[in-house]
Amino acid sequence: MDIHQLQIFANVAECKGFLAASMKMHLSQSTVSTHVSALEHELGKKLIRRTARNFELTEDGVKLYKYAVDILLLHRKAIMEVGGNGSEFLRIGTSSVPAQWFVPTILSGFLKKNVNTQVEMTSADSLDIIRRVKEGSLDIGFVGTKVEKQCKYIPLIKDHLVLAAPNTKEYQKIFAGESPQASQDPEYAKNSAGAANSSIDESAYEWSNMYGCTSDTWFDEDENILYENNIFAPLWRFRKDILFDFQARMDWCVKEYSEANHHPLAKLYGDDGERAIMKAAVERGTEYEVDASASEDPDGDTLNFRWWIYSEAGTCKKCPLLKNEKSEVVTISIPEDAQSGDTIHLILEVFDENEIVSLKSYRRIILEVQ
């Protein structure tokens, strides 16, 4: 057991996942996993218990984490006091906007007045920063949101948001306080409540596969947080994939093809994987099998599969059951009480195992009950 192993284990515990810890420490996921496995082998104890829906430390893992935090803190103090001229140490966390906007300026002025202070800065989303300040792994955090009764919050800066829109007649009416529909739609004008009481016709968005005014319920396995009917969840559930995609695309700009990672091809029933959406008719009370075994990776990486029901996008009231949702072929049980015309949105995730970054491809299968 060494300091580096303890540091990796502590980061895995704080990030609640191997992948998040590997990103924070700029290590491959396999390296992080190997060091934790070595610790478990040396101690003869299981330190982490991970299931499909949860990530937690075992009782022995909690004990080791407490010791690891103390040991790492003593290690820093020893370096600062013996080799760092009596420096103090400050652990700061910041979300993305403060990290780019004003934290560097604040830190610059602070360090000029406190020359013996060493700073360790971590960047993550606001909820993660708040959680780590509460748990004591960070001394102070700069965030853009507030969770009541968890920490003491001090307002620093007011953010001014601006809406940019095309300079068209429709938007000019909106900014003037007039609905662009009022003069064109007599039925809309009759409704004194306007948009507040009107429902959105989602068919208007079908051409671009967009749906308005949505909120999702989503469990973040890495952070162990459940977001219920949250308007940000429709995007948050994909944010890690977006970041990984961006990282890979940056590599494409400067590296040879063989040195970069590329998205797998998610193929349904052996198709070419180019169509994002597939539709199929199903009967109530039956089982329907969907096959993605022809999926492949252009870099030859090992592929993993995950199927899930996007209940917010469908109209079936009862969520169907899935069998083998982490395999190439999934079986979906159509509820007996499903109504004719109900739709079920089945999502396929195919993601590779690559030491650079894990990339994911999606397919959507819309099942319509006959």
Look at residue 86 in the predicted model and tell me its pLDDT.
Answer: 54
pLDDT over 90 (residue 124) = no
pLDDT at position 180 over 80: no
Buried b (16+ CB within 10 A) or exposed e, 133-161: beeebbeebbbeeeeeeebeeeeeeeeee
Q: How far apart are alpha carbons 266 and 366 in whole angstroms?
A: 16
Average pLDDT (354-359) is 88
What is this structure's pTM? 0.45
- Is 70 exceeded by the pLDDT of residue 210? no
Overall average pLDDT of the 53-79 stretch: 83
- The confidence score (pLDDT) of residue 204 equals 44
The residue to which tokens 């994911």 are assigned: 360
Kindly write down the DSSP assignment for every residue of 254-314, as one continuous string: HS-GGGS----B--STT--S--SEEEEEE-TT-EEEEE-TT-B-TT---EEEEEEE-TTT-
Lowest average pLDDT, out of 24-28, 127-131, 221-225, goes to: 221-225
Instruction: Answer yes or no: are the C-beta atoms of 306 and 314 closer than 8 Å.
Output: no
Residues 60-69 pLDDT 10s: 999 999 899 8
- Pairwise CA distance, residues 151 & 149, whole Å: 6
How deeply is 84 buried, as exposed, middle or buried, from its count of CB atoms within 10 A (0-12, 13-18, 19+)?
middle
Lowest mean pLDDT of 110-114, 249-253, 319-323, 365-369, name the range.
110-114
pLDDT of res. 31: 79
- Taking a C-beta distance cutoff of 8 angstroms, is the pair 232, 341 a contact? no
Strand partners, 350: 305, 361
**Which range has the top average pLDDT, 162-176, 188-202, 304-318?**
304-318
Q: What pLDDT, on a 0 to 100 scale, did the predictor assign at position 186?
A: 44
Confidence at residue 289, expressed as pLDDT on a 0 to 100 scale: 93
**Pairwise CA distance, residues 193 & 85, whole Å:** 68
Average pLDDT over residues 284-312: 91
Which span out of 17-21, 154-158, 234-238, 330-334 was modeled with the highest average pLDDT? Answer: 330-334
More confident: 351 or 168: 351
How far, in Å, CA of 300 to CA of 89, rounded?
45
Mean pLDDT of 16-26: 76
* Range scoring the smallest mean pLDDT among 37-41, 88-92, 173-177: 173-177
Residue 43 and residue 60 in contact, taking contact as beta carbons nearer than 8 Å: yes
Average pLDDT, the chain: 79
In one-letter notation, the amino acid at residue 44 is: G
> Which comes out higher in pLDDT, residue 70 or 215?
70
Q: Which residue has the higher pLDDT, 39 or 54?
A: 39
**Local confidence band at 360 (pLDDT 50, 70, 90 cut-offs):** very high
Q: Residue 127: is its pLDDT beyond 90?
A: no
How high is the pLDDT of residue 80?
A: 66
Spatial distance between the Cα atoms of 94 and 206, rounded to a whole number of angstroms: 38
